[in-house]
Amino acid sequence: MTEPAGIRLSVRDLRVELADGGADVVAEVSFDVRAGQTLGIVGESGSGKTTVAHALLGHCRRGLKLASGSVAVNGTDLLAASPEELRRHRSRTVGFVPQDPGKALNPVMRIRRQLNESVAGLADGRDRIPAILADVGLEARPEILNAYPHQLSGGQQQRISLALAFAPQPELIVLDEPTTGLDVTTQRRVLDTIKRLSDSYGVASVYVSHDLAVVAEVADRVAVMYAGRMVELGATRDVLAAPFHPYTRGLLLAAPRPDEASAIEGIPGYPARVGHRPAGCSFRPRCPVAVERCRQTPPPEFVRPDHLVRCFRATEELARVSARYGQHQVLHDVSFEVKEGECLAVVGESGSGKTTLARCVSGLVTDWNGSVRFNGEELARHVRGRDRSVLQAIQYIYQNPYASLNPRKTVHQILAAPVEHFSGRRGTDVTTVIGQALESVALSPQLLSRFPAELSGGERQRVAIARALAVEPSVLICDEITSALDVSVQAAIVHLIHDLQLLKNLTLVFITHNLALLPSVANSVVVLQNGRVVESGDVHSILSAPAMPYTRSLIANAPRLDPPTAPPAPSGHGKPGQSWTTDLRETTT
């Protein structure tokens, strides 16, 4: 009995403020709900979810005011309606199921009278009552109809609330934590009832709750609210299985699961109160991956197909690069993206354009068009147009360690230069930072006074890496950093890079021609051929089951220590972190 899948509810830029002072309680909230669909809104105390729920009926609690935005149900904007229109829409077009039925039912009115009131003015109103009561699992018996609310049990009261909301057959139903406070069995029954009613009446519903588990059961799509904003919105499966926002991840970690033995972890800190929210992203004080940018500006929404996220660190997109280099076009419409904390490998043979790509992205080439987005913001094509913090955040490590270190400077000076440049510090501060950087690449401080000529290739590359790390970047672009090194040294460097990535939650773009390295370091891969993207995706899937012939041939042509005697069998091994040598043996097609 579901209606055609049109959009029933459309909320745009909803903003609710404190009447006194204008501090925002809820802001920039936009979402749609289709007929027959249930949207779950999840949040903790103070997130604004109940405020949003009330706003869907054009109502706000005392002390708040509906400042701007629209709430359109079947096209009619409730926030723009006159008070009479709004009253007419309430209950008829938009229904509400309250949290505490015991308190929400008038204690001096008998149930019958309250039911009659809900269908007053409808043609077949009275006739609907026995049907709706049956739908919620109650009978139209005198004991119930003549009773006062306090004479019913909690479960029965909630069913009456449901009946009152569904009886006028509204287009949209808003449920405000309707099962909080009920015991588990009753909660289960009420949830089933709600699902049944939503399906059979074809309503669109918005289900507000603090309980992720309940929302997971009931909702098709989920919106997560924090400090008055929606920080994530997407299909329930997607959001719960692979959440983008750190808060959502935190919630999932904190949610108790009856069938898992894992300990629950809380999110440290407390949400800030209205009017006391920090500048920039409200979640920053509690966020494990916050960076400087998060302190300065509030993150806008990032929209991926059907999945919306409000976080800088959630995606770091590098997309759509077309580059000309010299006379001919080197890159054709290459696009890819890297998620924060992950490593993307860019693989191709010489001439594929992979280095050009890296150079474009890091702003070392001027003659290209397209866009690069970092932390959601589009970057200037050349470093000169880029923000200092961006320059600091994206560090480049070159292929040739013999060329990337100034031979006239000591290691100390080489390392100190960028640190002093970006931070403006001098002296002992800098020395401390340098010392830590050296330590992280496992080099002894004795090297500080040496010149590059006195170091081996591996040591030099480590110094180059340390130089990049010393300024605390978020992205490392590693351009064939192992190609010029001996095999044994390669392993160590790859291992080092991988460990550093995990330790510092770096985002890596790892350019290489050597496929064999991939399993040790990369999560996803982009395969380039002649300046075009041939294939891209998750490392394990691509390596084990490459779709494109070029990819297959790359993999097949990669030299192996143990030539296969049997036809290659797919495998998904090679988790980053294992030693490189074992990986080489285990890697198959």
Partner 1 sequence: MTERGWTLGPKALTAPVRPRGGGRGGIAAIGRQALRTRRGAIGLTLVAIVVLFAVVGPFVAPHPPTALTTIPLSGPSGHAWLGGDFLGRDVWSRLLAGGWALLLLAVLATVLGVAAGTAIGVTAGLLQGKVDSILMRCVDVGLAFPQIVFALLLVSVAGARPWLVVVAVGISHTPQVARVVRAATLDVSEQDYVKVAESNGVSRWRIMMFEIVPNLVSVLMVELGLRLTFSITLIAGLTFIGFGLRPPAPNWGVMINENRIGLTLNPWGVLAPIALIAILTIGMNLLTDAFASAAIGVDRAGDLTLESSPFAAEAVP
Partner 2 sequence: MTAAAAPATPDGDAPARARRAGGTILPLLARRLVAGVFTLFAVSIIVFAATQVLPGNAATAVLGQSATPLRVAQLEAQMHLNRPAVAQYASWIGGILHGNPGTSLVANQPVASIVLPRVLASAALVILAAVIGVTIGVVGGVLAASRRSGLIDQSMSLGSLIITAMPEFVVALLLVVLFSTTVFRVLPAVSIISPGHSVLGSPSQLVLPVATLVIVIVPYIFRMMRGAMLEALESDYVEMAQLRGQSVRRVLFVHALPNALAPVIQVIGLTLLYLAGGIVVVEFVFNYRGLGQGLVNAVTTRDIPTIQFLVLLLAAFYVFVNIVTDVLVLLVSPRRRYPR
Nearest CB to partner 1, comparing residues 163 and 227: 227
Q: Going along 74-193, which residue ranges are E strands? A: 76-77, 94-97, 172-176
Query: How far apart are CB 57 and partner 2 at their closest, in Å?
Result: 5
Residues 361-389 as b or e (16 or more Cβ within 10 Å = b): bbbebeebebebbbbbeebebeeeebeee
Separation of first and last alpha carbons in the chain: 50
210's tokens: 């603090």
User: CB 298 → partner 1: shortest distance, Å?
Assistant: 20
> Which does residue 57 bind out of partner 2, partner 1, none, counting CB within 5 to 8 angstroms by kind?
partner 2
In what side-by-side order are the strands of the sheet with 221-226? 94-97, 172-176, 204-209, 38-42, 221-226, 229-235, 307-309, 302-304
Phi, psi of 217 (to 5 degrees): -75, -35
CA distances from 460 to 203, 417, 488, 512 (A): 66, 16, 15, 19
x/- string (CB under 8 A) for partner 1, residues 217-236?
A: --------------------
Asked whether the beta carbons of 78 and 303 are under 8 A apart, the reply is no
Cβ-based nearer residue to partner 2, 88 or 421? 88
Residue 45 interface partner, choices partner 1, partner 2, none, CB cut-off 5-8 Å depending on type: partner 1
409 contact partners, CB below 8 Å, separation of at least 6: 417, 451, 452
Dig out the tokens for 423 from the structure. 């931070």
Picked from partner 1, partner 2, none, the partner binding residue 138 (CB below 5 to 8 A depending on kind) is partner 2
Q: Measured from the CB atom, is 179 or 355 closer to partner 2?
A: 179
When CB distances are held under 5 to 8 angstroms depending on the partner's kind, the choice from partner 1, partner 2, none that residue 108 binds is partner 2
CB 178, min distance to partner 1, A: 13
Site for partner 1 in 83-102 (CB under 8 A): 100
126 binds, among partner 2, partner 1, none (CB under 5 to 8 A by kind): none
Query: Shortest CA distance to 76 belongs to which of 15, 167, 9?
Result: 9
Position 25 contacts partner 1 (CB under 8 A): yes
> Cα(373)–Cα(378) distance, rounded to whole angstroms?
4
Residue 72 vs 147, nearer CB to partner 2: 147
Q: Quick one: 153 or 449, whose CB is closer to partner 2?
A: 153
Q: What is the dihedral of CA 100, 102, 106, 112, to 10 degrees?
A: 110
Pick what 150 binds: partner 1, partner 2, none; C-beta below 5 to 8 Å, kind-dependent. Answer: partner 2
Residue 180 contacts which entry, partner 1, partner 2, none (Cβ below 5-8 A, type-dependent):
partner 1
Which of partner 1, partner 2, none interacts with 274 (beta carbon under 5 to 8 A by kind)?
partner 1
Site for partner 1 in 29-58 (CB under 8 A): 43-51
The least CB distance from residue 62 to partner 1, in Å, is: 8
Alpha helices in 341-456 (DSSP H): 354-361, 388-393, 411-423, 428-440
Q: Which residues bind partner 2 (CB under 8 A)?
A: 54, 57, 59, 86-92, 96, 98, 100, 103-109, 117-118, 134, 137-139, 141-144, 146-148, 150-153, 155-156, 164, 186, 189
Please say which residue, 94 or 554, places its beta carbon nearer to partner 2.
94
Separation CA 164–CA 168 (nearest Å)? 8
CB of 84 to partner 2, least distance (A): 9
Instruction: Tell me the CA distances in angstroms from 165 to 100, 117, 444, one per residue in order.
Output: 14, 11, 72
| CA separation, residue 295 to residues 162, 249, 269, 282, 318 (Å) | 44, 20, 16, 9, 23
Binding partner at 92 among partner 1, partner 2, none, C-beta below 5 to 8 Å by kind:
partner 2
Does 64 bind partner 1 (CB under 8 A)? Our answer is yes
* Rounded (5°) CA angle 144-147-151: 100
Task: Provide the binding-site residues for partner 1, judged by CB under 8 A.
Answer: 18, 25, 43-51, 61, 63-64, 100, 177, 180-181, 210, 273-274
